[in-house]
Structure 1
């Protein structure tokens, strides 16, 4: 049977954990996480807003939509709804970009944030997802909005061979032409004596994506005709019960190869962007991640000395994200009518972590300390050889100390500090000439490179009280260090020396207060937060060039989140969440645009265990409206300031289990809502106003052995 168990999440929003069992009710298992403090700890001892998405919930959600952006948009309060595309631009965590991790290894490219990090792995190889909300210093640069950590599947060692085969198909229920997609996943794992292994592969082919009117959705960051592959391998060896070494490798790619072409519309024209087939192909290479590779060597020793555990990680990560072909990258003087950029990033990292446990009378004390070292080389060039963002080489060395004190079992106090020492080296370069029309060009500037040094100390402090089950209050203050998309600043330089570019880093301050609790079958939570940075980045329209230039200005963001879960009976449970957020440019007194601030979001679910073998669930997502800006004198909205209207999505899934087989059906957008994702209305650039997917049907089966 399938049972959803809900309980309050540490310091903020409730965590619902679905546990699958064959014939018996699952026992209560206290939830543990690793992301908050880099060591395994009870979730009720984490003084921060946390959402944990379990393996069972992931398995349920991919029966409707396999995209992680969709899953996170529904499951995580405080996170924007899905963009309906391959880009997570506009899908922020509390109004700021999150740092994406896979098993603790950074996937984001903060030196040139292309905002593709959420789609860096397939959901099928993930064990669970841990989301820490609010700026955090624990993981360093890039975590201005928080951390999303994809924890990959682990080998089961209870037998020498375990396996799972899953296959499915999906298609439009409005217009099936060219929409048929297929998905197959095969995984094996097991343990033999002291050795354990896991091999898991996913292959998915999307058909074209159609909206509620049956038209093909525009291809700008599109998901039509995308073929994705994911291979996860893990090998481990236990020297004894307390010393383990493991080697893992994950490869992901997902590229669009289609014979459809765009028909551009815009918010201001009132015409949607869509795609048609005309026998031609989009110029350039297929867009999407062309190989996202992670390799990690990990050594864990319990009782390294005294009461101290030791973890050593050595990792390498490579990214090659190819963007769509755009005429906005034209340079008519050189004969280029358009262009296609890509972000290439290579990271080599070392993490050394110690965890010492001490007990003084009634005070349980944990001291976590260590160092992060990372070398990151990132650039953004064009497929045709032009350089848009020069190569940036970053060396980052960061020692840290995190402490936790538990007084009289019920009072939890946390405090920590992290020191950032960063050196970024940039070669001499020329900014790229771009033309919006013949004779209307940005021109190029020769810029002298050099070294940019950053030094910062960030702090965090939080407490939580767990003495009353019905009311667990908390407070937290945390700081995050953010080198704000340095590459974007460099490519827009109008000065001749890099030292004259406003490349200062930001310290993001996050304050949060809230409570959670449970009364009988009801659990609930609430959190209010404020986030401030002295130097955020906003865009201002340049009327001469027709492009948008980055401007450094202080940002203030505030909001609240609430959640309720209720177990109606042994076989029926439901819950709701609500998210509200707002933000302003403090210097100009102007609201932040739709790229940073998403409209209010309401979600609800109901799970019904109809019988021992049949389970039915329904999800409801309501994305609200936001209209903060005025059009220009010509009646057009500019930049990211388009008015956003609301929409409702209802998703339905049902699964039936018999013996080792499980079959399922999923329907996304059950009532065929005709809508634009919020970011599609906020961004006024031509071609970005693509609609969301119409009614979509998914069928599949899983066999376990």
Structure 2
């Protein structure tokens, strides 16, 4: 006997569900875990869903998504305080960042800028699936961060919102005041619905607890950020829908400042000052330079018996500009440094089918389909030199995911994905780069070729909804990862690409945990372990001055927990703790902070004393991690610097003073803690030793119509 599943029903009404901000069910559904909408109660793995309300609360304090993710997601490394999420791993590995399932990361040359790719005002929620997965293909060795965009509301014909705010340093106001504007409008006319959002923000200078301007490397001072997002939908009938979406994002630092570079080994911070033009930040403005996404989606919730289908076609054009670095110098050719750009063009198509079958006491769901992707990525320098040659990846994959719900309480998930990847690289020569006149890499002519990757990955998971008070799960999942091939190519020391260790890494991920819900409190606890035979870390070559990739087996393990306590209808507390550790098991040495973050605890206290007023206090604790010894000169190298603990408290609130008007305020680093973020402490590379933001205030007003 056949009957429609929850997934199919939800697929048909998803636009209504997502559009409603107050709908309590919005946090109980996800799409990222299996590529179709399903209930969280039937997912046997760790998930964090960040609601639109949580996004808007954090937006009052800070518009940076990586700051929000670090505050709310257990297992995600602390915020870097910059535009780059390098070092902000998810359970010790790189996550794949997506917008509505379309990859934003550039895994072939991972520049760690994928988190900052859309404005929070365009989002309905964020879904974070933890642990290696092959559901979406290459680049998800640590899991998935999927930004789910807003849908047009079906309640009423037209609605919209406009918000104005200013963010400034409370330590030293001079030059720090910025301005932010965001607006959105949506509606439905007949069978056509639309949503348009726009945001524009100009930052002033950002200051630390001492009032000094933060260093400019990946900095946010004097940054101009623009985001324009639109979604158009056409309901062909009750079962069929056609949807088009477009996203434009740009965030570039346009400044007349220059850095005073310090040394973290000496306890000296890097900060910025006004300098003559010759000493100002060189090169093009750093940051995403007008990245674009276009997606066309067709869905049919009943294409054949008890089956739904979604077809996606997408294209993406990315150009991420990095800072000018003297380490890319070549005095022999007259280069005092260089500035790189990661360019990536993706074209993809995906067909996902969903079939539901009912066998007496067993409800079965089969999710299957085909993914095709062409990803062309390179990393040239602005001056025309080639650092990473063009990599042309052709990928074709088929997958089958199954879910079996037995007697409503016992869930079994099992799946397989077969991936075939061809990666073509033409002949190239590695770039000669010099840290000094006597410390230079040696160029190598490398013969190109087409590398074939064939990988089959599996997953198997169980969950038992014994009762609300105890719902345990266990899962095993694999991911196939050829991430950051570009870093291997640019540091090649052999003459044939076939001799470079470009093999794919298979990640085996094991997890066990449980969820418990009582009258006023909810617990989530999970422990995990992941292994890979060919992980990638760095080793500094003191002769050439180049950080060379090391391929070696890795083991990463950890645990995390969450407590959600509802003191009363107007007062609630959400607290998390996460711990992760990892080793190169071949050499029996700990992994550096590029992958492994220190322990992290967070707390968010929400109080709504009246219908028109709400307040939120958020707390972040980052613990110690001191796993490495200094070298013979007493200095730490690479990403092995010791991390000392620090604490940050934020405050935000909003007040509805008229029917359609809200005023809001946010204070970041309320007690003006003077600290280095975890990455700034552990990264000994030049220019990363930048202190955290001092007390910063944000004031604004929102009008809804």
1:206–1:27 CA distance, 2 compared to 1 (3 A): closer
Correspondence for 2:187 among 165, 186, 190: 190
Q: Give per-residue Cα distances to partners, 1:359-418, cap 9 Å, x unaligned.
A: 000100000000100000000000000000000000000000000000000001000000
Q: Provide the residue aligned with 1:491 in structure 2.
A: 490
Q: Provide the residue aligned with 2:45 in structure 1.
A: 48
**Distance across 1 between alignment mates of 2:237 and 2:686:** 60
Correspondence for 1:83 among 64, 80, 83: 80
Q: Provide the residue aligned with 2:690 in structure 1.
A: 690
Does the 8 A contact of 1:18 with 1:56 survive in 2?
no
Does the 8 A contact of 1:204 with 1:227 survive in 2?
yes
For the residue of structure 2 that corresponds to 1:487, the secondary structure is helix
Structure 1 segments unaligned to the other structure (5+ residues) = 1-16
Q: What is the CA-CA distance between 1:28 and the residue it aligns to?
A: 5.8
For the residue of structure 2 that corresponds to 1:489, the secondary structure is helix
Mapping for residues 60-459 of structure 1, pairs under 5 Å = 60-280=57-277, 281-459=280-458
Does the 8 A contact of 1:317 with 1:346 survive in 2?
yes
Q: Determine whether 1:502 maps to 2:501.
A: yes
**Distance across 2 between alignment mates of 1:651 and 1:448:** 54
**Distance across 2 between alignment mates of 1:20 and 1:289:** 30
Q: What is the CA-CA distance between 1:484 and the residue it aligns to?
A: 3.2
Q: What is the CA-CA distance between 1:150 and the residue it aligns to?
A: 0.4
**Distance across 1 between alignment mates of 2:438 and 2:210:** 39
Q: Give per-residue Cα distances to partners, 1:23-58, cap 9 Å, x unaligned.
A: xxx666671110000000001111111000011110
**Distance across 1 between alignment mates of 2:89 and 2:263:** 23
1:195–1:533 CA distance, 2 compared to 1 (3 A): same
**Distance across 1 between alignment mates of 2:385 and 2:424:** 20
Does the 8 A contact of 1:30 with 1:42 survive in 2?
no
Does the 8 A contact of 1:389 with 1:490 survive in 2?
yes
For the residue of structure 2 that corresponds to 1:679, the secondary structure is helix
Structure 2 segments unaligned to the other structure (5+ residues) = 1-17
Structure 1 outlier segments of 4+, above 4 Å: 17-21, 26-30
For the residue of structure 2 that corresponds to 1:56, the secondary structure is helix
Q: TM-score, normalised by structure 1?
A: 0.96
For the residue of structure 1 that corresponds to 2:67, the secondary structure is helix
Q: Determine whether 1:514 maps to 2:538.
A: no
Mapping for residues 536-547 of structure 1, pairs under 5 Å = 536-547=535-546
Q: What is the CA-CA distance between 1:546 and the residue it aligns to?
A: 2.1
**Distance across 2 between alignment mates of 1:96 and 1:471:** 29
Q: What is the CA-CA distance between 1:596 and the residue it aligns to?
A: 0.8
Does the 8 A contact of 2:27 with 2:49 survive in 1?
no
* Range 588-597 or range 431-440, more displaced: 431-440
Q: Determine whether 1:588 maps to 2:584.
A: no
Q: Provide the residue aligned with 1:35 in structure 2.
A: 32
Mapping for residues 661-672 of structure 1, pairs under 5 Å = 661-672=661-672
**Distance across 2 between alignment mates of 1:360 and 1:637:** 61
Q: What is the CA-CA distance between 1:622 and the residue it aligns to?
A: 0.2
Does the 8 A contact of 2:19 with 2:124 survive in 1?
no
For the residue of structure 1 that corresponds to 2:356, the secondary structure is strand
**Distance across 2 between alignment mates of 1:336 and 1:100:** 35
Q: What is the CA-CA distance between 1:20 and the residue it aligns to?
A: 6.0
Q: Give per-residue Cα distances to partners, 1:310-332, cap 9 Å, x unaligned.
A: 10000001110000001000011
For the residue of structure 2 that corresponds to 1:372, the secondary structure is strand
**Distance across 1 between alignment mates of 2:624 and 2:370:** 44
Q: What is the CA-CA distance between 1:569 and the residue it aligns to?
A: 1.2
For the residue of structure 2 that corresponds to 1:117, the secondary structure is coil
Q: Give per-residue Cα distances to partners, 1:161-204, cap 9 Å, x unaligned.
A: 11110110010000111111110011111000001111110001
Q: Provide the residue aligned with 2:704 in structure 1.
A: 704
Q: What is the CA-CA distance between 1:292 and the residue it aligns to?
A: 1.4
For the residue of structure 1 that corresponds to 2:236, the secondary structure is strand
Q: Provide the residue aligned with 2:660 in structure 1.
A: 660
**Distance across 1 between alignment mates of 2:266 and 2:545:** 17
Q: Give per-residue Cα distances to partners, 1:436-466, cap 9 Å, x unaligned.
A: 1113210211111011110000001101111
**Distance across 1 between alignment mates of 2:407 and 2:583:** 42
- Count residues with an aligned counterpart: 685
Q: Provide the residue aligned with 1:561 in structure 2.
A: 560
Q: What is the CA-CA distance between 1:279 and the residue it aligns to?
A: 3.3
Instruction: Please provide the CA RMSD for this pair.
Output: 1.2
